């Protein structure tokens, strides 16, 4: 259902505030070495268990949560 311009102003203000704070908070999130291409094609499996993670072409320092985000 569409939101009228009048009703959207508080949301626009809220989103602007979130965007502003997000930039500030981003620098405080934990970072570490991450794979950044974590998907089934880069996993070696045996007996339904991961035995190796392959292909570190895109690995680098990034947000700790990045591998989870990419896998989703």
Q: What are the tens digits of pLDDT across the range 54-68?
A: 999 999 999 999 988
Residue 51, pLDDT score? 97
Q: What are the tens digits of pLDDT across the range 4-57?
A: 888 888 899 999 999 989 888 888 999 999 999 988 999 999 999 999 999 999
Q: What are phi and psi of 19, to 5 degrees?
A: -60, -40
**Counted domains in the chain:** 1
Q: Which domain holds residue 17?
A: 5-71
Residue 58, pLDDT score? 93
3-state secondary structure the chain: CCCCHHHHHHHHHHHHHHHHHHHHHHCCCCEEEECCCCCHHHEEEECCEEEEECCCCCCEEEECCHHHHHHC
């Amino acid at each position: 259902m569409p939101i009228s311009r009048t009703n959207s102003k508080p949301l626009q203000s809220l989103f602007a505030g979130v965007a502003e704070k997000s930039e500030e908070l981003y620098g405080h999130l934990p970072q570490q070495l991450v794979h950044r291409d974590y998907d089934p094609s880069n996993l070696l499996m045996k007996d339904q268990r991961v035995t190796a993670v392959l292909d570190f072409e895109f690995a680098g320092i990034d947000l700790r949560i990045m591998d989870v985000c990419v896998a989703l």
